[in-house]
Amino acid sequence: MTTITLRRQDRATTVHRFPAEWEPQSGVMLTWPHPHADWAGVLTQADATFAAIAAAIARREIVLITAYDENHKAHVRAVLGKSGVDMARVRLFVAPSDDVFVRDHGPLTVEAGGGLLLQDFAFNGWGRKYPFANDDGLTRALHAQGAFGTSPLESTDFVLEGGSVESDGAGTLLVTARCLLSPARNPKYTAAEIEAVLKARLGVQRVLWLHHGYLAGDDTDGHIDTLARFCDPHTIVYCACPWPDDEHYEELKAMEQELRSLRTASGAPYRLVALPWPSAKLDASGERMPATYANFLVTNGAVLVPVYDDRQDDEALRVIGACFPGREIVGIPSLVLIAQHGSLHCVTMQLPQGVLP
């Protein structure tokens, strides 16, 4: 048996639990699109989509928005006002950012020491594919401004993106090997060492690895939140491609077989629910965009689901709704998001109840 000794920066405060997304929330974070990044040419469409997301969140909880600078903050406030967003539930802060994907540069919140702890993992632009210095410092900048109240923050130079880990709230984490073992993230760590860090910092007891799964147009090396998601500790929804002539067919079929082999902590097979498969969505250059219904966001009383002006949209809303009984299912037009290689879950980060004052 190999004994793993955590490096000093990987030793965290004693962590008890990594809450599931469906548990009570105090708010959801957004990093708003701005003209200093790749969004400059689609800001009108991006503003509309982000306003729709903010409105859906603000009907149920706080939406914490980061603007690039004071001028951008005024612009965001104007967009929200025109969209009828409840400004009493909006909190606007200023910090420069490189991109909008707060799922990956925002904090992961865990239960620790009788309270809540914000885990600030390092972010390196999905393996140094894109600029990342501002995004990597954004959580610390917000914390210094008091955005998270008195919730403590713990930082590490271990690279981890929020979209790469999926918690069931009961001690199990679902991840993909393609992403977490990417040599551009933590090259000196073995799989066993990565698993040890995840257990120490997120308080999980089990890490389930998927070695298959693929989404064209995805820049994350296979984030789990684009492929398979927990709906409760016993249910996983996942992308399934029914068309043998589609480039995703073999990989997603292999992923499905992996999911069938997984077991819950009690030893039972998971209840697996296949998501509809949208038709190919191409960008202006003819490249396929990463359209996936798995990239939904669970909020207080609702599930926000990305839709793509596709004939499968309604079926996706129905399938996901059946997995979250009692919650309103809200479709969010997300074509502008996948044109930037992400989707709805990628641009949001939930904060559990107790984080925001």
Spatial strand order in the sheet of 115-122: 15-17, 108-112, 115-122, 153-159
The Cβ of residue 44 has, within 10 Å, a number of other Cβ atoms equal to 9
Instruction: Characterize the bridge pairing of strands 172-176 and 166-167.
Output: antiparallel
Catalytic residue among 179, 231, 239, 346: 346
**Residue 290: which of 340, 240, 242 has the closest Cα?**
340
d(CA 27, CA 130): 28
CB 210, CB 175: distance < 8 Å: yes
Query: Would you put residue 25 in left (φ > 0), alpha (ψ -120 to 50) or beta?
Result: beta
Whether residue 241 lies in the annotated active site: no
Backbone angles phi, psi at 239, to 5 degrees: -75, 130
d(CA 169, CA 329): 22
Active site residues: 346
